[in-house]
Amino acid sequence: MTNLNETPCTTITIYTDGACKGNPGIGGWGALISNDKKKLEIAGFSLMTTNNEMELMAVLRSLERIKGVSKDIHLYSDSKYVIQGITEWLPNWKAKGWRNASKKPIANAELWREIDQLNQKHNISWFWVEGHSGVEGNEKADALANEAITFKTSIKRATQLEAT
């Protein structure tokens, strides 16, 4: 039941969030992935990380769950680092050999490379959402990230949705 690709659907919706207690410090990431049939909650943690790494990890682990042929995906994040990185900065980083405007290697380059590969595989629309503003999917992703930190655990919960 954790495979969202078993049944046809029009769009997969993903909400991601990262959290860190200290920066660097213990961190967690969380994601809510859903289509019209199923909902999957995933999360994980790292003992020594940064908030930006956890934001990227939430995106990466979510996209890794989407198997098979190209899918239409709406991905929501409250991280301007993630959204601007993928929609604005990435082409320049790649053109400059994964270096920033100051010619220094970009932070989290390996995570960005992996996300870039998955981004090219699917039709992803990227959306920024204001954090802690009552957006249900974002609030759930935030809660999952913090749950992973609190309990130092990984989470995977799947739900079959009722037909409406």
Residue ranges of the annotated binding site are: 17, 55, 78, 142
Q: Is residue 78 annotated as a catalytic residue, yes or no?
A: yes
Query: Which residue out of 27, 28, 78, 85 is catalytically annotated?
Result: 78
Who contacts 43 (Cβ-Cβ below 8 Å, separation ≥6)? 28, 29, 30, 31, 144, 145, 147, 148, 153, 154, 155
The active-site residue, picked from 17, 41, 44, 53, is 17
Residue type, position 66, single letter: I
CB contact at 8 A, 132 and 4: no
Cis peptide leading into 8, omega within 30 of 0? no
Has 17 been annotated as catalytic? yes
Is 55 among the residues known to form the active site?
A: yes
User: Which member of 27, 28, 85, 142 is catalytic?
Assistant: 142
Of the residues 53, 55, 85, 137, only one is catalytic, namely: 55
**Binding site for Mg(2+), residues?**
17, 55, 78, 142
122: annotated active-site residue: no
For the annotated catalytic residues, the residue numbers are 17-18, 55, 78, 132, 142
